[in-house]
Amino acid sequence: MSAALTGGMVVSRALARYGVRTVFAVAGASHSFLLDALERDGFEIISSRHESGCVGAADGYARITGKPGVALIIADQGTPNAINGIATAFHACSPVLVLIARLPNSWTEAEAEYDSAKHPLVDSITKWARTVPAPERLAEYVDVAAKRALSGRRGPVVLQIPQEYLQATLADAGAANLPAPRTTRAVADPAAIATAAELLATARRPLLIVGAGACQGDAGASLRTLVEEFDLPIAGNGLGRGLVAEDWVRSFNWPVMQIAAKDADVVCVIGARLKQRLGYGLPPRFSADAKFVQIDIEAEELSRNRRIDVAIVADAGRACEQLLAALRARRTTGAAPSPRAFWVRDALRARFDYLDSLVRTPLPNDTIHPLVLGRAIAQLAPADTIFVGDGADIQTWMYGALQVRQAPGFLDHYPMGAMGTGTPLAVGAAAAARELSTKKSRCVVLTTGDGSFGFYPAELHAAARAGLKIVCIIGNDGVWGTEWHGQMKALSRPVNTELGYLDYEKVAEGFGCRGERVTRRSELEAALQRAFAHDGPSVLNVIIDRDAGAAIKSNPLAQMILFDDLATNLKAQHAFAG
């Protein structure tokens, strides 16, 4: 018989089989035996300061590695605190495993105010939530949790463990002695692929739109070849950005290119959901006459809001391989595509000219326009940078400045839209980059607003303690920018939207980071260079032009996040829904 094990040791061994080498935790008393085992087994434990920050960091880790992101929190107070992080991961389809330590079974009251045996707080924002029924089944439940998180449309799961199970003595590791279960990758119906290939080959203005599912399905290599060989323009959204390096010639981010989408005659959506960000696939964002191909691993996503002409249930990577083969086979028959990719670039000429003019035009008093800030970041950031976006107005300007060249390489709060989550996402991304690196870690750059930065600034302490390199750049306009400009437009005065130009760099210094304040355009480049050169987390508090945000409310060339779709599409939804 093998030497006695604790339940914590079994969980640690079970997690190690999935390639996870970093976990995120808030404090530790309830997880003592698990933390002890993890540390002895060589895991890096990053100490978060808030449960949503902890889950958010695990989310960032999961998006970059593709492995389960593990967050350790407690029940009772901890679970309610974690809701925002769990909901963000759920809507972003991120495979996060939340291990919740619960008070011992013997402490459970028959008529407790909160029944911790059930999971009402998380049922609607997880793929699966259970309580381990016995210590001997710990590894089995870890495996089921991981399977649920990683299979199909990915997402967070919750596994609650009575804390006495983690210190229980077990004679055997159970399922943890076996290799981790593997999931299969479904291929597409060849007939549907042939139809999709025919549509793309004969389209005059084709368009590929790729999302998180394409990244999680490792579709990058096939997509790059499709774009290059068959002149297909591509727009990446969320985690799909950078699967084909953004050059604004053939490859774009969706927010900056979406004003051209209405001209596409064939649209192929790969691993992206037709929800609000994509205009529900309906007019006015897309033409009513456009033919749609949709590839998704979840059948329920097909024909969501708009009836799809060619609906394909498959792993995005496998389907893209098949689509490439079908297009190549068709080309050998003598039907070669004509150059078509540049129709998007030409359609966006007015937008790019407008953005370029903003950068060329100096503001009074050497003031920094937020787009100038974004373009300066773009010039200094390495090609393999992982960008994390947060905030509202500042995020809009970053879409017109930052080009993602490697996937996974872009994380943000989409589609949940919960402000502040960028900071913990950046912590997790930086931890993932360090874990994956063989020489030098990929650089992590967080761009955020002064409002959004205020939600989870203490997570910078986690970065400082762990020695993570993050360049955090705050675009500080002293207000809740989107709301302030909305009120000025509606009321001609602000109400409850003023923040003031606070010294966020001092907050950063208090948590052990490097901090610096920048107020003039002429000072910006040197300050950014110092931030990029710093070996550890660095925060730049950049005072930006408050008036710049007014353009986002009034000029279509500046608007990259659109919110009018639900109202304008109400009638179209009934006409086009499948």
Which positions ≥6 away from 50 have C-beta within 8 Å? 26, 81, 456, 458, 459
* pLDDT of the residue at 576: 53
Which residue spans within 50-156 are E strands per DSSP? 69-74, 96-102, 128-131
Q: What 3-state class would DSSP assign to 313?
A: strand
**CATH code of 107's domain:** 3.40.50.970
List the beta bridge partners of residue 208.
234, 268
Using CA atoms, how far apart are residues 431 and 318, in angstroms rounded to an integer?
29
Q: What 3-state class would DSSP assign to 64?
A: helix
Q: How many CA atoms lie within 13 A of 301 on its CB side?
A: 22
Task: Look up the domain containing 509 and give its range.
Answer: 349-554
Using CA atoms, how far apart are residues 179 and 480, in angstroms rounded to an integer?
50
Is residue 576 in a domain?
A: no
* pLDDT of the residue at 169: 95
Rg of the chain over Cα atoms, rounded to whole angstroms, equals 24
- C-alpha closest to that of 277 among 562, 573, 575: 562
* pLDDT of the residue at 1: 37
Q: What 3-state class would DSSP assign to 80?
A: helix
Is residue 18 in a domain?
A: yes
* pLDDT of the residue at 333: 64
Using CA atoms, how far apart are residues 450 and 475, in angstroms rounded to an integer?
6
Sequence letter at residue 181: P
Residues 485, 501 within the same domain: yes
Our count of domains for the chain comes to: 3
Using CA atoms, how far apart are residues 208 and 305, in angstroms rounded to an integer?
19
Sequence letter at residue 259: I
Residues 104, 203 within the same domain: no
What token pair was written down for 337? 């595509």
C-alpha distances (whole Å) from 24 to each of 20, 250, 276, 392, 470 are 11, 39, 32, 27, 17
Residues 167, 216 within the same domain: no
Is residue 376 in a domain?
A: yes
Sign of CA dihedral 388, 391, 394, 395: positive
Our CA angle for 82, 86, 92, nearest 5°, is 150
Residues 203, 278 within the same domain: yes
Q: What 3-state class would DSSP assign to 470?
A: strand
* pLDDT of the residue at 335: 55
Q: What is the pTM of this model?
A: 0.95
Residues 79, 99 within the same domain: yes
Using CA atoms, how far apart are residues 315 and 178, in angstroms rounded to an integer?
26
Is residue 573 in a domain?
A: no
Contact 384, 440 (CB under 8 A): no
What token pair was written down for 168? 């229980």
Using CA atoms, how far apart are residues 552 and 571, in angstroms rounded to an integer?
26
Residues 82, 24 within the same domain: yes
Contact 317, 222 (CB under 8 A): yes
* pLDDT of the residue at 103: 82
Biggest distance spanned by C-alpha atoms of the chain: 78
Residues 307, 396 within the same domain: no
* pLDDT of the residue at 438: 87
Residues 133, 210 within the same domain: no
- C-alpha closest to that of 359 among 371, 349, 347: 371
> What string of pLDDT tens digits covers the 578 residues of the chain?
356 899 999 999 999 999 999 999 998 789 999 999 999 999 999 999 999 999 999 999 999 999 999 999 999 899 999 999 999 999 999 999 999 999 887 777 666 666 666 788 999 999 999 999 999 999 999 999 999 999 999 999 999 999 999 999 999 999 999 999 988 899 999 999 999 999 999 999 999 999 999 999 999 999 999 999 999 999 999 999 999 999 999 999 999 999 999 999 999 999 999 999 999 999 999 999 999 999 999 999 999 999 999 999 999 999 999 999 999 998 876 555 555 779 999 999 999 999 999 999 999 999 999 999 999 999 999 999 999 999 999 999 999 999 999 999 999 999 999 999 999 999 999 999 999 998 889 999 999 999 999 999 999 999 999 999 999 999 999 999 999 999 999 999 999 999 999 999 999 999 999 999 999 999 999 999 999 999 999 999 999 999 999 999 999 999 998 866 555 555 655 555 54
Using CA atoms, how far apart are residues 553 and 485, in angstroms rounded to an integer?
7
Sequence letter at residue 22: T
Using CA atoms, how far apart are residues 183 and 165, in angstroms rounded to an integer?
28
Q: Using omega within 30 degrees of 0 as the cis cutoff, is the peptide bond preceding 120 cis?
A: no
Distance of CA 421 to the CA centre of its chain: 10
Identify the burial level of 512 via C-beta atoms within 10 angstroms of its C-beta, where 0-12 means exposed, 13-18 middle and 19 or more buried: middle
Contact 17, 179 (CB under 8 A): yes
Is residue 575 in a domain?
A: no
Q: At which of 281, 311, 345 does a domain end?
A: 345
Q: What 3-state class would DSSP assign to 563?
A: coil
Is residue 241 in a domain?
A: yes
Residues 354, 334 within the same domain: no
**What does the DSSP assignment read for 332-401?**
TTT-PPPP-THHHHHHTHHHHHHHHHHHHSPPGGGPBPHHHHHHHHHHHS-TT-EEEE-SSHHHHHHHTT
Contact 64, 432 (CB under 8 A): yes
Residues 290, 317 within the same domain: yes
Sequence letter at residue 420: G
Using CA atoms, how far apart are residues 250 and 341, in angstroms rounded to an integer?
6
Identify the burial level of 391 via C-beta atoms within 10 angstroms of its C-beta, where 0-12 means exposed, 13-18 middle and 19 or more buried: buried
Is residue 568 in a domain?
A: no
Residues 470, 520 within the same domain: yes
Residues 340, 355 within the same domain: no
Q: At which of 297, 320, 345 does a domain end?
A: 345
* pLDDT of the residue at 566: 52
Q: At which of 321, 345, 369 does a domain end?
A: 345
CB atoms within 10 A of CB 82: 28
Is residue 563 in a domain?
A: no
List the beta bridge partners of residue 210.
236, 270
**CATH code of 323's domain:** 3.40.50.1220
